[in-house]
């Protein structure tokens, strides 16, 4: 299924002040005081501006940082990593490829068994689509990641 993900003035105008500060001005929301840091529901996380799929709950883990954290993106072509020379302590900036939203940072101190990366994201840059709503929301092709080879749901 082909989707056209993009940033539009209408989408940007619908952002809350916090969503705008995070996505358009590269802000960071408070740790442990954001929508998804402790969300354990199965589903995917998409860019709040463009709707492009970024991360899945099957790759989410509790890093203890207070932000939603993932071991890898759901679609690597939807994630752009930008090296920040002036803010090395913040890791590498992560932006959405089509929406050009600042979504968080990636660090190389994640779980070694899953590749060693820690994608630490801002909830304000994301919209969560529950697994059971994927079809209705137009993300049905991602249901496959919630099925075990034996057909059991994750």
Cα–Cα dist 51/43, whole Å: 14
Spot the catalytic one: 49, 74, 94, 120.
120
Give long-range contacts, CB 8 A cutoff, 24+ apart: 76-83.
Answer: 78/5, 78/47, 78/52, 78/53, 78/54, 79/54, 79/103, 81/106
Q: Is 55 a catalytic residue?
A: no
Tokens found for residue 13: 């105008």
The Cα 122–Cα 105 span in angstroms is: 9
Catalytically active residues are 120
């Amino acid at each position: 299924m082909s989707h056209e993900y993009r940033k539009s003035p209408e989408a940007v105008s619908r952002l809350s002040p916090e969503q705008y500060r995070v996505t358009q001005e590269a802000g960071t929301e408070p740790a442990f005081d954001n929508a998804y840091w402790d969300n354990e529901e199965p589903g995917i996380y998409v860019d709040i501006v463009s709707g492009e799929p970024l991360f899945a709950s099957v790759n989410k883990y509790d890093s203890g940082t207070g932000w939603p954290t993932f071991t890898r993106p759901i679609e690597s072509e939807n994630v752009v990593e930008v090296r920040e020379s002036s803010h090395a302590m913040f890791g590498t900036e992560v932006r959405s490829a089509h929406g050009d939203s600042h979504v968080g940072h990636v660090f190389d101190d994640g779980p070694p068994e899953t590749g060693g990366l820690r994608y630490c994201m801002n909830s304000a840059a994301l919209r969560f689509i529950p697994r059971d709503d994927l079809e209705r929301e137009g993300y049905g092709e991602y249901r496959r990641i919630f099925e075990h080879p034996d057909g059991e749901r994750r």
